[in-house]
Amino acid sequence: ILNVEQSPQSLHVQEGDSTNFTCSFPSSNFYALHWYRWETAKSPEALFVMTLNGDEKKKGRISATLNTKEGYSYLYIKGSQPEDSATYLCASWALETGNQFYFGTGTSLTVIP
Amino acid sequence: SQTIHQWPATLVQPVGSPLSLECTVEGTSNPNLYWYRQAAGRGLQLLFYSVGIGQISSEVPQNLSASRPQDRQFILSSKKLLLSDSGFYLCAWFSLGGWTEAFFGQGTRLTVV
């Protein structure tokens, strides 16, 4: 089992605030890291797929960075809006786990209007 | 493009009854398929994955089983449901190595009463 951790577990921010959260994963034999936005009882929506150390990706007001040497990724949301409220999941794939793809427990974001 | 169909969307079953959740994939052949579960207040836990017909790997011991009778069909089953089997179940397709985003079914909300 691959231990993928996310922090914080939940977060409440005011509309317009910028925020960020962390995904930690084992750095050895790293293959890929994914970020998803997930609303309850719906399919997760893909945000980013990151594979290279130092990767930085951006999609609108959301961006992510990747450090494979130390085993972490940050997700940033600039100028949070109420529609950003959701759970943000990261998932990691490593060589030693074969075909398994492990998710973190998620960060639940609530943006207060 | 890949599409995953998962049904039923919601299910209420009594304790001790059997379960069958079905997932079918379109738009790809020989997919790597996964069953995940979100229990209340927790993240996505990997239950089973399959790399081909008849090939099932179980991640954690539990009251559930999985089968891959056809290339694009993945079934999650139980002979006798427990209260602890309640949760949100997701079927997913990942490319080998995780270098592209995953595709998910719409999910099944299972309540065992």
**For B82-96, how does the pLDDT look when each residue is reduced to its tens digit (9 = 90+)?**
999 999 999 999 877
Pairs of residues, one from chain A and one from chain B, whose beta carbons lie less than 8 Å apart: 68
Model pLDDT, residue A31: 83
Write down the pLDDT at residue B60: 76
**pLDDT value at position A102?**
85
Q: Which residue has the tokens 């290279």?
A: A52
Question: Region B27-51: what's the mean pLDDT?
Answer: 85
Other Cβ atoms closer than 10 A to A46: 16
A-chain residues near B94 (CB < 8 A): 93, 101
Structure confidence at residue B91 (pLDDT) = 95
- Give residue-wise pLDDT tens across range A52-71: 999 999 999 999 999 999 99
* pLDDT < 50 regions, chain A: none
pLDDT higher than threshold 80 for residue B66: yes
Q: What residues of B are in contact with residue A6 (Cβ under 8 Å)?
A: 43
